């Protein structure tokens, strides 16, 4: 190979390092229910990196006019072939997954396809509290040389005490989620104007206690369900039995989440649930009090208007919901999120992490050398 050709390859590689191509992977259900930060990460970094988004779902129509949004069917028989085809068509430097299911399929296919760098963010306490899943995450990360990221220091320490885990805090786009007229927001979302409304984005397993609490509250208190809070046949049967059909509004998975947070008076988050921090931060960014149950960390809640429910009983829930309704709206909640959980800060950390990752060799340690101290958590 001539010296001139070698120099050209070096210049091309340097340009790729200056603007690496990153693929954010998200389940289509999460994208429609606004339960993932992948889209916000893509939008926040597209000015500095070449950002792509892969939406994985059961039905994946092409997106006309969007060469950077890719639909992948999760059909068990074709998903790996579809992923390999995508990786062959699009030159990528980093593939970033967020869900455990994607780590098991996307990461291995990306590595087999020659994608040099893999990153996986663990943002769900349920994953690290399940010992079997926690071990699988660590085994897959070691097998495919994946850089692990946690959305809190607690998750990082629970994930592993023997290795460094990069920490990028949960965050919300405060430009998108902001206070606005509740009446206007209710008009957009189809919610009634008069009642006081408790919003809930999941999980479904928490709805039984919420419905029971609603029967003990004044008739002018209603509930709006959206995102992952989609009641199944048992929950719908309970609504009929308790005569709550007219007081519970089911908005679906993709229903203008920013407008819903502006329309409600209080946000309630039940136990567990994937990516449960995001709707909590979104509600507070819109100036709403929040009532949440474990495993949400207390520091995620505004001290003046956030309520962490430790006693998971119907009477306790009724009491704290009434208290939250009495202080709505909560202007300090917005200020709290802007100061501590604003997406602009996390985007900067993700940028540093990605630059450090592509600056290393694929065989380097999982946490790249040169990463900023604010990015890296020593889990030991």
Chain position carrying tokens 């990605």: 354
Distance CA 261, CA 278 (A): 12
86 has pLDDT over 50: yes
| Fold type of domain 19-171+343-378 | Rossmann fold (3.40.50)
Read off the pLDDT of residues 293-317 as tens digits, 9 standing for 90 and up: 877 788 899 999 999 988 779 999 9
**Mean pLDDT of all residues in 177-205:** 92
Q: Which residues contact 297 (CB under 8 A, 6 or more apart)?
A: 152, 154
Read off the pLDDT of residues 264-296 as tens digits, 9 standing for 90 and up: 999 999 875 544 688 899 999 999 999 998 777
In this structure, what token pair is assigned to residue 76?
């068990």
Q: Binning pLDDT at 50, 70 and 90, where does residue 335 land?
A: very high
Distances (CA, A) of 345 to 120, 176, 217, 338: 19, 15, 40, 10
325 has pLDDT over 60: yes
In this structure, what token pair is assigned to residue 23?
């693929």
In this structure, what token pair is assigned to residue 310?
């430790």
Q: Binning pLDDT at 50, 70 and 90, where does residue 125 land?
A: low
Q: Count other C-beta atoms under 10 Å from residue 114's C-beta.
A: 10
End-to-end Cα separation, the chain, in angstroms: 47
Asked if 278 and 35 count as a contact pair (C-beta separation under 8 A), the reply is yes
Minimal CA–CA distance to 284: which of 245, 237, 324?
Answer: 324
Read off the pLDDT of residues 10-67 as tens digits, 9 standing for 90 and up: 444 555 667 899 999 988 877 776 767 888 899 899 999 999 999 998 765 655 556 8
> What's the confidence (pLDDT) of residue 276?
65
In this structure, what token pair is assigned to residue 340?
């501590």
Residue 39, φ and ψ in degrees, nearest 5: -65, -40
- CATH number for the region 182-340 comes to 3.40.50.2000
Distance CA 157, CA 163 (A): 9
Distance CA 184, CA 197 (A): 14
The domains spanning 19-171+343-378 and 182-340 adopt the same CATH topology: yes
> What's the confidence (pLDDT) of residue 199?
95
The domain locations on the chain are 19-171+343-378, 182-340
Q: Which residues contact 180 (CB under 8 A, 6 or more apart)?
A: 259, 262, 286
Distances (CA, A) of 376 to 45, 315, 380: 20, 42, 12
Task: Give me the sheet containing 164-167, strands edge to edge.
Answer: 69-73, 50-57, 21-27, 94-97, 117-122, 146-150, 164-167, 376-378
What average pLDDT is seen over the chain?
A: 84
């Amino acid at each position: 190979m001539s010296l001139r050709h070698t120099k050209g390859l070096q210049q091309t590689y340097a340009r790729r390092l200056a603007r690496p191509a990153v693929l954010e992977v998200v389940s289509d259900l999460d994208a429609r229910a606004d339960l993932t930060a992948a889209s916000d990460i893509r939008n926040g970094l597209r000015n500095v990196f070449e950002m792509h988004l892969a939406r994985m779902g059961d039905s994946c129509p092409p997106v006309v006019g969007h060469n950077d949004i890719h639909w992948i069917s999760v059909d068990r028989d074709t998903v790996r072939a579809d992923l390999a085809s995508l990786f062959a068509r699009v030159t990528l430097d980093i593939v970033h997954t967020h869900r455990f299911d994607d780590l098991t399929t996307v990461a291995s296919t990306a590595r087999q396809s020659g994608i040099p760098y893999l990153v996986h963010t663990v943002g769900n306490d349920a994953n690290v509290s399940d010992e079997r899943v926690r071990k699988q995450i660590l085994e897959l990360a070691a097998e495919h040389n994946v850089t692990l990221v946690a959305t809190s220091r607690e998750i990082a320490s629970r994930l592993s005490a023997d290795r460094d885990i990069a920490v990028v805090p949960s965050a919300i786009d405060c430009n998108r989620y902001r206070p606005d007229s509740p009446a206007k927001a209710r008009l957009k979302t189809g919610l009634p104007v008069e009642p006081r409304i408790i919003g809930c984005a999941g999980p479904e397993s928490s709805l039984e206690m919420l419905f029971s609490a609603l029967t003990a509250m004044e008739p002018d208190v209603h509930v709006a369900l959206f995102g992952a809070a989609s009641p199944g046949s048992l929950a719908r049967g309970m609504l009929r039995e308790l005569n709550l059909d007219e007081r519970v509004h089911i908005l679906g998975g993709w229903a203008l989440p920013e407008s819903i947070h502006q329309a409600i008076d209080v946000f309630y988050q039940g136990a567990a649930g994937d990516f449960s921090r995001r709707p909590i931060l979104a509600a507070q960014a819109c100036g709403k009090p929040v009532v949440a149950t474990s495993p949400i960390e207390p520091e995620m809640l505004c001290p003046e208007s956030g309520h962490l429910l430790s006693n998971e009983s119907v009477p306790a829930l009724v009491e704290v919901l009434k208290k939250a309704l009495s202080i709505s709206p909560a202007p300090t909640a917005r200020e709290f999120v802007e100061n501590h959980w604003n997406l602009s800060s996390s985007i900067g950390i993700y940028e540093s992490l990605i630059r450090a990752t592509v600056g290393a060799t694929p065989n380097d340690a999982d946490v790249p050398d040169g990463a900023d101290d604010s990015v890296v958590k020593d889990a030991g």
